[in-house]
A and B are shown apart, each in its own frame.
Chain A
Amino acid sequence: MQLKLSAEDAAFRDEMRTFFTTEFPQEIRDKVLAGQHLTHDEIVAGQRALNAAGLAVPHWPEEWGGKGWTDLQRHLWHEEMQRAGVPAPLAFNASMIGPVLAQFGSQEQKERFLPKTANLDIWWSQGFSEPDAGSDLASLRTTAVRDGDDWIVNGQKTWTTLGQYGDWIFTLVRTDPEVKKQAGISMLLIDMTLEGVEVRPIELIDGGHEVNEVWFDDVRVPGDLLVGEQGGGWTIAKFLLGNERVGVAPVGATKRALARLKEDAGDLLDDPLTRARVAELENELLALELTALRVVAHSAGGEPHPASSVLKLKGTELQQAVSELALDLAGPGSLASGADDDSPVPGWARRTAPTYLNLRKASIYGGSNEIQRQIIARTILGL
């Protein structure tokens, strides 16, 4: 047991810190550090800057831009990005479809998609959830029917995050209605500019538009865009959702948000009850971060450690708790969420109510906290 980083890891961290704080576009970092939303173009520019330095997809196979880092190095890379306000590479690309294609894709698919995926030349969307298939994903009803070499896709996906920016969508479809639920599912890559694809915005309770419905109406998809085997979609989905949980615990970002909130709070931080709430949250965040490091230390061969569910569950709870503290510190100023920048209410305070509401999603999407409890109970505790 040892707390200190090895000399090698410490040097690695310094290297990351130096790059992120001196070479990455400053204006993007400033926006992130101020808690503001990035535009489409800023997200793309950020990922390209990382990719140019070889830092966008370090966990991919080295052949496709990976770095062969240890899990600890990957953690340090991620932590230093968050500390510097560097936006993480788009999860749909870097953490979801990229690893999936690298693992399950044909050579042709890899060559066609992976470089553009790393560079965010293609913006991927995720087409998994449906109105009647959320936590119970296996009951999905979007169909793909063979027509010659092509597939004809019909159905509806929902909760497609940032689908309005999507160029392509990786989609779970039912290719065989006869077999048992999971076995009839395949993964298709669909060009979102095809005829019959329609993206409709969903307004969320924070007033924002970050998720969408995606409708498929007789969309004709070439047969070579099926990933892996026909009927193998469920296996791929499990692989992908497992990947998704690693690094999903938003520790670094939450830590920075809390640190920033302390600055914003000014004399409100003199209140002993506020200080106690902050101290309690800081302690839990420290415990969570150390747990992430312990999980990293124990995870083997890319398989997600079951304790990933602990990270997701507790990570989202703490993220939500910090947003509640911010709301409480903003007080009546939080009503001014719709006011413009001329408002005498500071920006951080105006953003608190939408953020509080928006983050309620964190415990629902990407495997709800009930699903995480189920995984812990079954997989770890054997219940």
Chain B
Amino acid sequence: MSEKIIPGITTERTEKLIAQTLAEMPEKARKKRQPHVGANEPEASVCAVKSNRKTVPGVMSARGCAYAGAKGVVWGPIRDMVHVSHGPVGCGYYSWGTRRNLVQGVPGVTSFAMDFTSDFQEKDIVYGGDKKLEQLLREADALFPLNHGLSVLSECPVGLIGDDINAVTKKMEQELGKIVVPCNCEGFRGVSQSLGHHISNDSIRDFVIGKRSFDAPATPYDVALIGDYNIGGDVWAAKPILEEMGLNVRATWTGDGAIEEIAATHQVKLNLIHCYRSMNYMCKVMEEKWGIPWVEYNFFGPTKIAESLRKIAALFDADIQAKAEAVIAKYTPMAQAVIDEYRPRLEGKTAMLFVGGLRPRHTVGAYEDLGIQITGTGYEFAHQDDYDRTAPEMAKGTLIYDDVSEFEFERYVEELKPDLVGSGIKEKYVFQKAGIPFRQMHSWDYSGPYHGYEGFRIFARDIDMAINSPTWKLIKSPF
């Protein structure tokens, strides 16, 4: 991939842009931000851009908190649990329905995409919330009896006032006979939602995995889908492809997930991981404790999908490999038809990304399939290993920014003038006001799925719609 070159993008220009931008910041902030931005060097084995550090106060970051990572990413998507936002009302309220982790089931009966909260009042802060929590879990189980488990996600005050939710959940697991999980994901912990993923993974490790066994006989093809949160139905577009190539997807983590399947995942033969950032911990735990190998894959765009299918199939027998080729052969014409339709409308366009999880690198190939080049990318809450995986995907000299502040991002976009920015809701309207087409790449902008072959068709349509909407031409007023 090292031959990727984008006309007009050079290391020099990028470094100059960075220098000019940071020069506008106060000394201390500049020093803190400097290591987080750089020009891409595709062949560097270690990406020079630093990450996973504290957000600089006052710079307007897009980051969320540990609770957000725990509730929004790991726990929320598990459909058959009651997830309790334990603490004041806000956290559960804001995160209710605002991440598009779709679920099957009968709402309120077997699936619970709702807002359960202890709605802390002053007295709970003063006297502690453990007793209330105990009663709450009892009430929740009684009113939603078909839940298969309950999670307790701590909000900031809980850790600060010294509550012991672990004791409560332990007691209630005994009493209710269901999986009851504590998750000490107070929002002040760590530097971003990333710690929330880690804490949640640890909770799964300590309180979930290994507690159940599958209700079907084991096969050599049992796998788990890890790190797909079913945004806009991604899991439903991804899982059938794997099944078509002969694999048995026993559990999905955690998109449209079932807690008991997650609890039995130690029995699978291979873990397939899409969002490395949020779930690599668990893959490593399962590898260490149960000897389950894991493999990363990328289901964005036909090029990466085919690569991934072959990579996965290589870990199985010839039968699976043949089926994988058959899957590729079957869907490639469909993907090509999509490319034939949209690539002429998008060829030569550029885009900049700033998202979370896996997307800042994983979607690059899908854009390239459509003829769009990515001139800048970055993560809200990545770690070094994310950036190391990103560098080879990006062209030389492209801009890499970690936890970019709105101040910086605006200037970078202003200079690089991409045809599209793919980022989050907080950035969307900033750039649209500047006349730049935008897609939300956390939520697929209420569209999706974007995973798999089906997802690529929708992705291509959406990107074309964003870039080629005639509404952008209306912005310039004739008076």
Decide if A and B are genuine partners: no
Contact surface of A with B, Cβ cutoff 8 Å = none
